[in-house]
C-alpha cells in the first residue's frame, strides 16, 4: 500500500497551507495533487505544520480524509447554488440585483466552478486506490461530478438568459518633443519632429466601443464589437511593426473618425459525421502560438485594452472539436474584404524585423491540433499547427536591401510546440518553419526556421525566473510575435539566450529583470547578414509600485547595445546604443474609470551604423514622448 499523504480539514488559508508544503519534495508522487488542492484551499497539514507525506496511515484514516475533502467541495457547490438563487429570488417582493451585478456574479461563479472541477479531479487521483473504503462511507466521486455538471449547466443557462450590452469610451492625448533639435524613433517606430517645440505634434484621439453578447436561441450565441473613433486610423499599419527597418517612419497624424466592425460572429454547435463541432462564423479572432500566428501589440504608449489580446481579426469560420484528449481547430479566413480607414490595421503581414513579404495575406486556411496527456504524474501538452496563406500575385520577398526572389504568392507555416511541468519546473519548446512559394514551387525553403526552448521555475510565492535559448533564421517570416528590442519587433538572423526574473518585494512593490544575449546566426554571406562576430545585448529593468489603492506607478529602463563587426549593415561597423527611460502612472477614479499618464525619454546613437541609429541622425537622437488616457467602461 502507498504511504499516506495528508489530513484534510475545512478551515484553511491558502498562504499558510502553502508554506506547510516544505516537507513534500517536488518529486513525490502526490506533489502535484497536493499543490493544487492547497491552492484551492482544500488541504492543510498536521498540527505541527507539515504534511508528513511518507507517514504510514491506515486505509481508514485516508478514506476519512478523502470524505472530509468531499464534504468541503460539496458545501461549496451548495454555497454557489445559493448565490445563484439570490440573483433571481423567488419572493416577488425582493428586489433582484442589477443586470450588471448579475453578469459579474455569473462570471465569478463560472470561475469558482472551474476551481471546484479541478479539486474533484485531484481528489479522484488521490483516492483511486481507496474505492472500497469510500463506498463504505457512502462517498461517490461520481455523485460529486454529477452535481458539478448540473451546476455548470445551470450557470450556462443563466448566462444565456442575460442579454449583455457593454462598452467603453476612451479619450487619449499623444505627443512628442525633441531635445536640442534632435529627433528619435519612438517604440512604435515613428519619427519625432526635431523642432524642439513641446506642443508641436500633439494628437487627440477618441474611441467608443460597443460590445454585444447575447443568445439568439438555446444553442446559438451572437457576439459583436462596434467601434467609432479615430484611434485605429491613427495607428496605421499596426500589424506590420515587425518590419521595422522598412516601415514608414513618418510621425503619426490624426485622421478622420471612422466606424468599423472590430469583430462579429455567431457561435453554434454542429453535428458533422457523428461528431459535435463548435462553429464560429463571421469576423472572428484567431491567435495560435508565438512563432506561428499572433498579432503584435499595436501601441506601446496608449492603453486600448481590446487591442492587446494578440489575436488577429479576419472574416471566415473556425470549427473546433474535441476527441477525448485531442482538441482540433480548423480555420478558413480572409482579410481582403475589410475596407475603411482602419484597413491598414487588419492585414496579416509575414515579416521579421529586417525581412518581409511586401504585401499582406489575402486568405488563410489551416489546422491546429492540441493533445494533452500525462507521463507518470506530469502533465504534457503537444501542439501542431499548419496553415497556408495566399499573399497575392507579383509580390516580392525582401531581406534588408537585397531581393532574394520575386513573385511569391503563397506562404506555408508549419509549427510544433510542447509544454510540460516537472515538479516546480515549467518547460516549453516551439519549432516553426515558414516556406515561401510560387504556386507549388518553393521560392524560399532554406534558412527559414526558428526554435525556442525555455524553462521557468518558481522559487517561492514571491520569486520566479525563466531562462531560454532561441534561434531565428533570417528568412523566417511567420506572422507570430516572439519579442521586441527597442522599436524592433521580432528580432531575426540571431541566436542566443534570454532570461527574465520577477521578485515581489512586498504587496506594494514588484521588480522585474529581462535580458537578451545574442550573436549573429551566420546563415548569410558576410555582407548580407549578421555573423558570429556580431553581438546584440538587451537589458530591461522594471519596478511596479502601488502607492495607494488608487495610485499605481511603473518605472522602466531599457538598454540595447550592438557590436557590429561584419559588413551586414551597409558595410558600416560600430557599437550602437539605445536607451529608453519610461514612467507610467495610473489613477483609479472610481468604478470602471481609470486615468493613465506616461512620459518616456529616448537617447539613441548609431555610432556610425545608420540602420541602427534609432532615429534619422546617425550621430545621435534624443527626444521625449508623453501620453495620457482617460478610460470608462460601462
What are the residue ranges spanned by the domains of the chain? Answer: 14-161, 164-353+381-633
Contacting residues for 553 by C-beta, under 8 A, at least 6 apart: 544, 545, 546, 547, 583, 584, 585, 586
Digit-coded pLDDT (tens) for 385-420? 999 999 877 777 775 545 555 678 899 999 999 999
Task: Report residue 580 CA to chain centroid gap.
Answer: 24
Phi, psi of 224 (to 5 degrees): -155, 150
Mean pLDDT, residues 131-149 = 66
- Alpha-carbon distance 323 to 277, whole Å? 10
Q: Is the dihedral of CA 423, 462, 500, 434 positive or negative?
A: positive
- Alpha-carbon distance 6 to 17, whole Å? 12
Annotation: CATH topology of 164-353+381-633: Porin (2.40.160)
Question: Angle of helix 31-39 relative to helix 99-127, nearest 10 degrees?
Answer: 150
Q: Is the confidence at residue 95, as pLDDT, over 60?
A: no
Nearest to 535 by CA among 559, 555, 565: 565
**What's the pLDDT at 258?**
87
Nearest to 364 by CA among 441, 284, 291: 284
Lowest mean pLDDT among 50-54, 131-135, 238-242, 453-457: 50-54
Mean pLDDT, residues 367-385 = 93
**What's the pLDDT at 5?**
35
Digit-coded pLDDT (tens) for 570-593? 889 999 999 999 999 999 998 789
Mean pLDDT, residues 362-369 = 94
- Alpha-carbon distance 168 to 593, whole Å? 10
SS3 label, residue 83: helix
Q: Is the confidence at residue 186, as pLDDT, over 60?
A: yes
**What's the pLDDT at 554?**
98
Mean pLDDT, residues 253-273 = 89
Mean pLDDT of all residues in the chain?
82
Tally of CB atoms within 10 A around 133 = 19
- Alpha-carbon distance 269 to 305, whole Å? 30
> Which residue has 479619450 as its cell numbers?
171
**What's the pLDDT at 597?**
97
Q: Is the confidence at residue 43, as pLDDT, over 60?
A: no
At residue 632 the predicted structure's pLDDT band, cuts being 50, 70 and 90, is very high
The grid cell for 209 is 466601443
**What's the pLDDT at 26?**
56
Digit-coded pLDDT (tens) for 543-575? 999 999 999 999 999 999 999 999 988 889 999
SS3 label, residue 225: strand
**What's the pLDDT at 558?**
98
403 versus 290: which is more confidently predicted?
Answer: 290
Nearest to 235 by CA among 247, 225, 224: 247
- Alpha-carbon distance 296 to 247, whole Å? 14
Q: Are 148 and 115 in contact (CB under 8 A)?
A: no
CA dist list (Å): 316 to 265, 292, 313, 331, 365: 9, 19, 10, 8, 10
- Alpha-carbon distance 142 to 33, whole Å? 19
**What's the pLDDT at 47?**
44
SS (H, E, C) 3-26: CCCCECCCCCCHHHHHHHHHHCCC
- Alpha-carbon distance 266 to 223, whole Å? 6
- Alpha-carbon distance 38 to 49, whole Å? 13
Digit-coded pLDDT (tens) for 470-485? 999 999 999 999 999 9
CA dist list (Å): 181 to 55, 184, 192, 329, 601: 74, 10, 10, 53, 14
Digit-coded pLDDT (tens) for 58-91? 566 666 666 777 777 777 777 877 777 776 655 5
Amino acid at each position: 500500500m502507498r504511504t499516506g499523504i495528508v489530513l484534510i480539514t475545512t478551515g484553511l488559508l491558502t498562504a499558510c497551507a502553502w508554506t506547510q508544503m516544505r516537507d513534500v519534495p517536488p518529486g513525490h508522487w502526490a506533489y502535484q495533487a497536493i499543490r493544487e488542492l492547497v491552492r484551492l484551499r482544500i488541504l492543510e497539514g498536521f498540527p505541527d505544520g507539515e504534511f508528513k507525506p511518507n507517514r504510514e496511515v491506515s486505509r481508514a484514516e485516508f478514506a476519512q480524509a478523502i470524505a472530509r475533502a468531499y464534504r468541503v467541495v460539496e458545501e461549496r457547490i451548495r454555497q454557489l447554488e445559493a448565490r445563484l438563487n439570490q440573483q433571481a429570488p423567488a419572493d416577488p417582493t425582493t428586489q433582484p440585483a442589477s443586470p450588471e451585478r448579475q453578469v459579474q456574479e455569473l462570471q465569478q461563479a463560472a470561475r469558482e466552478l472551474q476551481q471546484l472541477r479541478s479539486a474533484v479531479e485531484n481528489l479522484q487521483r488521490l483516492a483511486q486506490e481507496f474505492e472500497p473504503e469510500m463506498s463504505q462511507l457512502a462517498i461517490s466521486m461520481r455523485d460529486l461530478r454529477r452535481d458539478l455538471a448540473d451546476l455548470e449547466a445551470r450557470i450556462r443557462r443563466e448566462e444565456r438568459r442575460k442579454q449583455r450590452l457593454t462598452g467603453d469610451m476612451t479619450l487619449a492625448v499623444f505627443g512628442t518633443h525633441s531635445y536640442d533639435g534632435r529627433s528619435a524613433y519612438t517604440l512604435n517606430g515613428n519619427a519625432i519632429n526635431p523642432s524642439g517645440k513641446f506642443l508641436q505634434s500633439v494628437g487627440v484621439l477618441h474611441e467608443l466601443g460597443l460590445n454585444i453578447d447575447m443568445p439568439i436561441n438555446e444553442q446559438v450565441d451572437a457576439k459583436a464589437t462596434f467601434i467609432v473613433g479615430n484611434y485605429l486610423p491613427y495607428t496605421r499599419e499596426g500589424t506590420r511593426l515587425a518590419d521595422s527597418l522598412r516601415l514608414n517612419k513618418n510621425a503619426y497624424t490624426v485622421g478622420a473618425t471612422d466606424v468599423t466592425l472590430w469583430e462579429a460572429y455567431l457561435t453554434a454547435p454542429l453535428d458533422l459525421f457523428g461528431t459535435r463541432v463548435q462553429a464560429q462564423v463571421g469576423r472572428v479572432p484567431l491567435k495560435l502560438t508565438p512563432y506561428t500566428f499572433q498579432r503584435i501589440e499595436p501601441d506601446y504608449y496608449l492603453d486600448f485594452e481590446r487591442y492587446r489580446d494578440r489575436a488577429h481579426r479576419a472574416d471566415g469560420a473556425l470549427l473546433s472539436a474535441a476527441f477525448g484528449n485531442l482538441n482540433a481547430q480548423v480555420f478558413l479566413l480572409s482579410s481582403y474584404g475589410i475596407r475603411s480607414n482602419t484597413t491598414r490595421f487588419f492585414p496579416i503581414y509575414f515579416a521579421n524585423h529586417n525581412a518581409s513579404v511586401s504585401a499582406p495575406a489575402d486568405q488563410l486556411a489551416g489546422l491546429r491540433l492540441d493533445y494533452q496527456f500525462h507521463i507518470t504524474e506530469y502533465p504534457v501538452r503537444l501542439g501542431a499547427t499548419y496553415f497556408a496563406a495566399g499573399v497575392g500575385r507579383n509580390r516580392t520577398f525582401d531581406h534588408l536591401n537585397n531581393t532574394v526572389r520575386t513573385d511569391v504568392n503563397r506562404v506555408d507555416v508549419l509549427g510544433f510546440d510542447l509544454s510540460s511541468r516537472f515538479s516546480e519546473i515549467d518547460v516549453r519548446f516551439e519549432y516553426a518553419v515558414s516556406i515561401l512559394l510560387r504556386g507549388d514551387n518553393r521560392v524560399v525553403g532554406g534558412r527559414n526556421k526558428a526554435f525556442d526552448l525555455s524553462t521557468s521555475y518558481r522559487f517561492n510565492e514571491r520569486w520566479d525566473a525563466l531562462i531560454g535559448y532561441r534561434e531565428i533564421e533570417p528568412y523566417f517570416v511567420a506572422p507570430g510575435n516572439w519579442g521586441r528590442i527597442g522599436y524592433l519587433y521580432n528580432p531575426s538572423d540571431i541566436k542566443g539566450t534570454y532570461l527574465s526574473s520577477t521578485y515581489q518585494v512586498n504587496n506594494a512593490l514588484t521588480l522585474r529583470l529581462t535580458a537578451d544575449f545574442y550573436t549573429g546566426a551566420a546563415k548569410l554571406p558576410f555582407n548580407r547578414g549578421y555573423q558570429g562576430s556580431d553581438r546584440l545585448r538587451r537589458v530591461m529593468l522594471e519596478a511596479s509600485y502601488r502607492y495607494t489603492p488608487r495610485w499605481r506607478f511603473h518605472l522602466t529602463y531599457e538598454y540595447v547595445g550592438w557590436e557590429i563587426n561584419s559588413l551586414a549593415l551597409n558595410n558600416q561597423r560600430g557599437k550602437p546604443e539605445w536607451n529608453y527611460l519610461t514612467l507610467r502612472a495610473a489613477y483609479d477614479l472610481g468604478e470602471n474609470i481609470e486615468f493613465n499618464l506616461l512620459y518616456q525619454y529616448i537617447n539613441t546613437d548609431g555610432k556610425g551604423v545608420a540602420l541602427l541609429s534609432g532615429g534619422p541622425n546617425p550621430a545621435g537622437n534624443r527626444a521625449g514622448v508623453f501620453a495620457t488616457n482617460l478610460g470608462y467602461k460601462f
